[in-house]
Structure 1
Amino acid sequence: MRICLVTDRPDHPLLADAHALLTLRHEVIALDPDTVTDGHPINADVYLLKARTAKALAFAERAERHGARVLNSAAATRACQDRVRMAELAWAARLPFPATTAFASPARLLATAPVFPLMVKSRHSRRHDLVARVDDLDALRTMARDWPDEPIVAQEFVDNGGWDHKLWVVDGHVFAGLRRTALDGPAETKPIAPEDLPTGWSTLARRVGIAFGLDVYGVDILEVDGIPSIIDVNAFPGMRGMSGAPEALAALAARDGNSDRTEKRIEARFSAFRVPDAGCKASQ
Structure 2
Amino acid sequence: MLDQLAQKEADGWRFCNSPTSSVLAGDRNTLMCRLRNAGLPVPKWQRLPDWADVIRIGTERSVVVKAADGTVGRGTQVVIAIRNTLPKAAPFSGPYLVEEYIENDGLDRKLYVAGSRCFGLIKPWPRNPDVPAQSFDALPELVGLAMAVGVETGLEIFGVDVLLGAQGPKIVDVNVFPGFRGIDEAHSAVVHHLLERLELG
- Calculate the TM-score normalised by the size of structure 1: 0.62
Could you tell me which residue of structure 1 aligns to residue 17 of structure 2?
A: 72
What's the CA shift for 1:243? 2.8
- Structure number with the bigger relative contact order (C-alpha 8 A, sep ≥ 6) is 1
Q: Which runs of 5+ in 1 are unaligned?
A: 1-54, 259-284
Could you tell me which residue of structure 1 aligns to residue 81 of structure 2?
A: 134
Question: Aligned pair in 2 of structure 1 residues 237, 253: CA closer, same or farther (>3 Å)?
Answer: same
Query: AA paired with 2:23?
Result: R
Question: Aligned pair in 2 of structure 1 residues 178, 111: CA closer, same or farther (>3 Å)?
Answer: closer
1:123 to 2:68 alignment: yes
Could you tell me which residue of structure 2 aligns to residue 220 of structure 1?
A: 161
Aligned residues: 196
CA RMSD across the alignment: 2.3
Taking only the aligned residue pairs, the percentage that are identical comes to 26
- Point out the structure with max Rg over C-alpha: 1
What's the CA shift for 1:157? 0.6
- Calculate the TM-score normalised by the size of structure 2: 0.86
8 A Cα contact 2:104 2:166, kept in partner = no
Mapping of 1:43-62 within 5 angstroms? 60-61=5-6
1:177 to 2:121 alignment: yes
Question: Quick one: distance in 2 between partners of 1:58 and 1:131?
Answer: 30
Could you tell me which residue of structure 1 aligns to residue 149 of structure 2?
A: 208
CA-to-partner distance for each residue in 1:233-252, whole Å, 9 max, x for gaps? 11111112313222221122
8 A Cα contact 1:106 1:140, kept in partner = no
Q: Could you say what secondary structure the match of 1:69 adopts?
A: coil
8 A Cα contact 1:162 1:184, kept in partner = no
Question: Quick one: distance in 1 between partners of 2:77 and 2:157?
Answer: 24
Query: AA paired with 2:178?
Result: P
Question: Quick one: distance in 1 between partners of 2:180 and 2:4?
Answer: 24
CA-to-partner distance for each residue in 1:67-101, whole Å, 9 max, x for gaps? 11111011111111111011111112110001110
Question: Aligned pair in 2 of structure 1 residues 193, 141: CA closer, same or farther (>3 Å)?
Answer: closer
Q: Which runs of 5+ in 2 are unaligned?
A: none
Query: AA paired with 1:257?
Result: L
What's the CA shift for 1:174? 0.9
What's the CA shift for 1:60? 4.0
